[in-house]
Structure 1
């Protein structure tokens, strides 16, 4: 029953409540996972990216920088130093035109990119051409 409801939610281009499962965009270039506990949070990774990196790489990062973003219900977006980048193959797709809520974190998947913001108005925009932190 749960799979049927989830499938219906992903087919209807409206707002859906996220339940902590991982998902990816139709391009398979951006994938996220998170949950609604503690007000909501979300980790998102973009595999193929271009343009300037939105935040300077810390000296302590010896891995990949500019690919992983973390947002909580409030506060600034954090970027994460990754030791390796790998694609996933989630069955749940955030189709273009669909919005989702992870507690106080709201996201929208569109052909132009993937945007998430929190209750404080902080967030990120991810696309193959550019990534922004606001």
Structure 2
């Protein structure tokens, strides 16, 4: 049975994909939900890591609007949005997750090509239009608007 991962409700909506692409400050702008916020893939991939509260799963979660079919089929118990949200804990395998609202900071800074962000047991590297995140077990995901891969 797939894990159902419902992200906290915030005032942001999926319409935030159309948010301005202004880059924030040199440091990550904090949305209040995650300790680490950033964007990758030229600003089209939104990520938040190391949630501030224990109510949310700890690790890194990234969201993008995918073009095409999701890499995994929608679980029967997912009545929410499916296909563009990926989660990786500091250990274990990466997974796609069900989500409701848009819990990411639309003004977080955009990682430069080749730049890496490290969190508690995970790291993500931007490369062109994609981001690759991996954990201490060498599991992870690689995602862009056109491609998704779990490893």
What range describes the TM-score normalised by the shorter chain of this pair?
0.7 to 0.9
Q: Residue 14 of structure 1 corresponds to which residue in structure 2?
A: none
Q: Residue 85 of structure 2 corresponds to which residue in structure 1?
A: 68
Q: Is the 8 A contact 2:143 2:149 kept in 1?
A: yes
Q: Is the 8 A contact 2:41 2:127 kept in 1?
A: no
Q: Distance in 1 between matches of 2:144 and 2:93?
A: 19
Q: Is the 8 A contact 1:32 1:44 kept in 2?
A: yes
Q: Secondary structure at the match of 1:20?
A: strand
CA RMSD of aligned residues (A): 2.8
Q: Is the 8 A contact 1:41 1:72 kept in 2?
A: yes
TM-score scaled to structure 1, two decimals? 0.74
The counterpart of 2:61, out of the listed 25, 43, 67, is 43
Q: Distance in 1 between matches of 2:76 and 2:49?
A: 27
* Structure 1: gaps of 5 or more residues: 1-5, 11-18
Q: Residue 95 of structure 1 corresponds to which residue in structure 2?
A: 112
Q: Distance in 2 between matches of 1:67 and 1:29?
A: 11
Q: Residue 100 of structure 2 corresponds to which residue in structure 1?
A: 83
Q: Distance in 1 between matches of 2:104 and 2:62?
A: 12
TM-score scaled to structure 2, two decimals? 0.66
Higher share in strand: 1
Q: Residue 6 of structure 2 corresponds to which residue in structure 1?
A: none
Q: Residue 47 of structure 2 corresponds to which residue in structure 1?
A: 32
The counterpart of 1:123, out of the listed 108, 131, 140, is 140
Higher share in helix: 1
Q: Distance in 2 between matches of 1:87 and 1:75?
A: 23
Question: CA offset at residue 22 of structure 1?
Answer: 1.2
Runs of 4+ in 1 over 6 A off after TM superposition: none
